[in-house]
Structure 1
Amino acid sequence: MSAFYGPPKPDEDMIPVIHHAINRGITFLDTSDVYGPFINEILLGKALKGGMQERVELATKFGVIIKDGKFEVRGDPAYVRAACEGSLKRLEVDCIDLYYQHRIDTRLPIEVTMGELKKLVEEGKIKYIGLSEASASTIRRAHAVHPITAVQLEWSLWARDAEEDIIPTCRELGIGIVAYSPLGRGFLSLGAKVAENLSNDDYRKTLPRFQPENIEHNNILFERVKEIATRKGCTTSQLALAWVHHQGDDVCPIPGTTKIGNLDQNIGALSLTLTPEEMAELESIASAVAIKSDRFQGTSLTWKASDTPLLASWKA
C-alpha cells in the first residue's frame, strides 16, 4: 500500500480496504516503519481508530533505514528504543502486539538487540518479539534471551530455502512462522506478465528473478501451477496461498493487496482443500522447475538467514 510496489496509494483508497479486511475476519495486520518510510504506520493509525484496533493483532518492525537512497540495518539498543517509541506514536497505540527485527544487524550479537527488546516487553511497550530473515542459529540465540513468538520469512512455491533448517528450528522451539510474499511478489498471480507494467519506482524491477533473462524461465513454474488451478477451478493465487496455508496451523501467510477484489480472492484460498497428492504435485513442480536466480542481489544478500557475531568474542 505504501512502499516498494510503486508510489504510495491514497489513504482514502486504502482505509476502506483495511476496514473490509477486518470486517471479513482478518485479525492480523503487518506493517513496518520502513514502509514509506513511516507512511504505512500512519495509515494504519488512522484506519484503526474507533475501536478497530481492538479487533486485530498489530505487528510492526524496526531495523531498516533508508539513508541517501541506500538501506542500512541497525539493531543497537538506543536505536531499537527510539524506533519503538516512533512506531507507538505513528500507530497511535500504547503497546505493539508483535514487534519484529525487520532485518538482522550482522555487526553486533543478537543478544545485544534482544536485551533491549526484552526491556520493552517488561515495560509494556510491546507484547511479543519477532525476527525476520534470521538464521537458525540466530533464532536459537535470540530465543535463549527471551522467547521469540514469530519468525517472518519468505515462503512460497518459488521461495523454499527456509524449509531446510529455519522452519524446522522454529517448530522445534514452538515459534510461529509468518510467510511474507506468499504470492511471490505477484509472480504467482500473473506469471511473467507481472513485470510488464511495473512503474519505474517499483522495487521488483531491481530483483534478479524479475529480470528478462530469468523471468521467462521462471514462468514455467507459473504455467504448471496454472494448469492445476484450472483443474481445481480456482486462481493461481488461491492455489499458491492454499499451499502455504496447508503447511500447518503454525503458519500465517501475509499476502499484500491494494484492492478489495483481490483481498476477497485471497480470503477464498481458505476454502480450498488440497489433498496430499496435490501438495506433493505442487512441490514436485516447484523442485523440478528450479527457480532461476536468487531472491535478493548485491548487499541485500546479507538479508537472507542472517548470522551475528558471538557475544563472547564481540567488542562494542
Structure 2
Amino acid sequence: MFHRFIACLLLAHRLSEVPVKSAELEKTDRVALLFRAAQEQQKGIILILEGTGLAGLVHTVDELSSCLDPRHFQVHHFPGYETAPERKDPFLHHYWMHLPRYGDLALFDGSYYHEFVRRVLKGKLSRDEKKAWIDDINRFEESLQANYYLVLKVRLNRHGKDLEDELKSDKKLKSRAALIRKRARYLVKEYRDYSQELDRLTQLTGSPLSPWFTPPEGKGKQVRSLVLDYIIARMEEFLSVDSRQAVASYDEAMKLMRKLNRERNTVRGESEEEIERSEES
C-alpha cells in the first residue's frame, strides 16, 4: 500500500511538470486543424501577401510551411512585371492556372496586385486599361468566393529605411532567392510611389467578402503572429469551426490518455524508466 502511495505521488509530480503549450504553438495547431477542416469540407484557401513588409511575408510563409501538410500547400512566387516577359494571354490568366485544388492552400507572393502597380508605375496602362483591370480583379475574386474559395488578402507595410535595414540584418530575408532580394531593392527604391499606388488599389478592391487586412508595422515575427490571428479568425468564420475549443479538447484527450496509461503501468509495478519508454512508443 505504501509503495502504491509513493507511486501516485511521483505520478502527480511528473504530471505537474508537463510544460504548458505556448501561445505560438497553440496558433500553429489551430491553423493546422483549420486547414484539415478545409480539406474535409472541400474548400480552397487563397492567401495573398502584398506590400513592402517583406520580412513579415517571409516569416509568415515559413511558419505556415512548418505546420501544414506539404501535399496541400503551395507557394507561388510570381515574377511580376519587372522580370516577366510580355504575355499575350489575358490579365489574370496566369493566376487562374495556379488556383489550388479544393481543400488546399495557395499562397500568392507577388500577385496580380503587384503586377498591376508595377505596370502603372511604368506607364504601361492607360486610364481605361486601369479601370478594366480593377474590374477584372473584383470579378475574379467574386467568382472565387462563389465557387467555395476563401480569399485572404494581407497588406504588410514597412518603412523604406526599415526594409533596407532588414535586408542586411534579417536572416530569413537574407537567405531568400535572388527574386525576393531584387523585389526588395525595387521596393526600397520606389517606396513612396509604390505605396501610394497600392493604397489606391486596395481601396478599390476591398469588399465585405474579401477585405484587406493591414497589421501594424513591426518586425517579421511580430507581424507573423498578427497574420496568423487573422487567418484563424477568417477561416473559423468561413468553415464554422471553433479551432480553440477543438485543439483544447484534443490536448485534454491526449493528456487523459497519458494519465491513464501511466496509472495502468504503475499498477503493473513498472519503473519510471519503463513508463517513459512505454509513453514514447
Q: Point out the structure with the larger strand share.
A: 1
Give TM-score scaled by structure 2 length: 0.31
**Greater RCO, 1 or 2 (C-alpha within 8 Å, sep 6+):** 2
Give TM-score scaled by structure 1 length: 0.29
Q: Point out the structure with the larger helix share.
A: 2
